[in-house]
Amino acid sequence: MTALDLKNKRIVVTGGAGFLGRQVIAQLCKAGADLQKITVPRSHDCDLRQMESCQRVVSQQDIVVHLAAHVGGIGLNREKPAELFYDNLMMGTQLIHAAYEAGVEKFTCVGTICAYPKFTPVPFKEDDLWNGYPEETNAPYGIAKKALLVQLEAYRQQYNFDGIYLLPVNLYGPEDNFDPSSSHVIPALIRKVHEAQQRGDKHLPVWGDGSPTREFLYSEDAARGIVMATQHYSSHEPVNLGTGYEISIRVLIELICELMGFEGELVWETDKPNGQPRRCLDTERAQKAFGFTATMEFKEGLKRTIDWYRQHAA
């Protein structure tokens, strides 16, 4: 397929003011888009759970990149499963329908790694997406997002609507969400270590037993992958975005402590949930389909994230 020329396209990026969204906008501009023609709807004056808002947002747009999500870590997943299901399903499904009706040329939907079954053979291949139920705490969010893949496949089949679906692994990087009530594992741990240092604590409590593994993708790499897919990919098949590098939570927290100079003792709270046992992606499809490979070395990315947090912690 010939690359989608972004030059004079009107592009809407939902979630564009967020941690990933700002990087996606930077990468769109790098790939030739005009910043003046990029629209970022904000939740305070545009509720994407309402069909009228979705219709207004996609009106006269050429490309939609849907990043907006109601999302958090294990804590939020346990506390608000109904909200996570409803909000993510309604936002996505109405936005896709409104975009189709408005004649949008390309729809890029960013899904979630939480959509994979709890026990997926590692590394996760896209073809395994339907081979079981997601990890319970992730399921309401993961299934709401996975429904959008089904919708895009159906709209492609019936209406020839060009919608693609991407599955980025856990993201991290500068400007991440460090709010303890809704942050993901890396920002949550960085903040925890920083605050323990401020208080002079000798012990650091960490959820679970440290055995689960995760894979992390630097936000700038993820944004580049999303833009490359928007320009060069057109198929009903979902695509993983990741690094293929797997690290246990235990090794991760030890690395964060080392980079931050924390010398206290780790205390594993084994009565708290671990989440999905293993998470690591097969990244071959993205490489073959549109030439995407992550380039940020993990330790360096972690260092940049820590540096950013320390500068902005106040």
Compute the C-alpha angle 298/299/302, nearest 5°.
85
Please check if 16 is assigned to a binding site. Answer: yes
Please check if 19 is assigned to a binding site. Answer: yes
Please check if 168 is assigned to a binding site. Answer: yes
DSSP β-bridge partners for residue 182: none
Closest CA to 207 of 275, 257, 279: 275
Please check if 18 is assigned to a binding site. Answer: yes
DSSP β-bridge partners for residue 11: 38, 63
Please check if 4 is assigned to a binding site. Answer: no
C-alpha to C-alpha distance for 173 and 194, rounded to whole angstroms: 16
Please check if 203 is assigned to a binding site. Answer: no
Give me the catalytic one of 100, 141, 155, 165. 141
Please check if 145 is assigned to a binding site. Answer: yes
Contact present, 94 and 51 (Cβ < 8 Å): yes
Within 10 Å of residue 234's Cβ, how many Cβ atoms?
16
Q: In what order do the strands lie in the sheet with 11-14?
A: 38-39, 11-14, 63-66, 106-110, 163-168, 239-241
Please check if 170 is assigned to a binding site. Answer: yes
C-alpha to C-alpha distance for 137 and 147, rounded to whole angstroms: 17
Please check if 106 is assigned to a binding site. Answer: no
Contact present, 88 and 146 (Cβ < 8 Å): no
* 136-146: b (≥16 Cβ within 10 Å) or e: ebbbbbbbbbb
Please check if 208 is assigned to a binding site. Answer: no
Confirm whether 100 is a catalytic residue.
Answer: no
DSSP β-bridge partners for residue 167: 240
Please check if 244 is assigned to a binding site. Answer: no
Give the containing element (helix H, strand E) for 288: helix 284-290
Please check if 275 is assigned to a binding site. Answer: no
Please check if 37 is assigned to a binding site. Answer: no
C-alpha to C-alpha distance for 112 and 180, rounded to whole angstroms: 21
Q: Which residues participate in the annotated binding site for substrate? A: 192, 207, 214
Binding site listing: 15-21, 145, 168-171, 184, 192, 207, 214
> Which residue ranges are tagged as binding site for NADP(+)?
15-21, 145, 168-171, 184
- Residues annotated as catalytic are 141
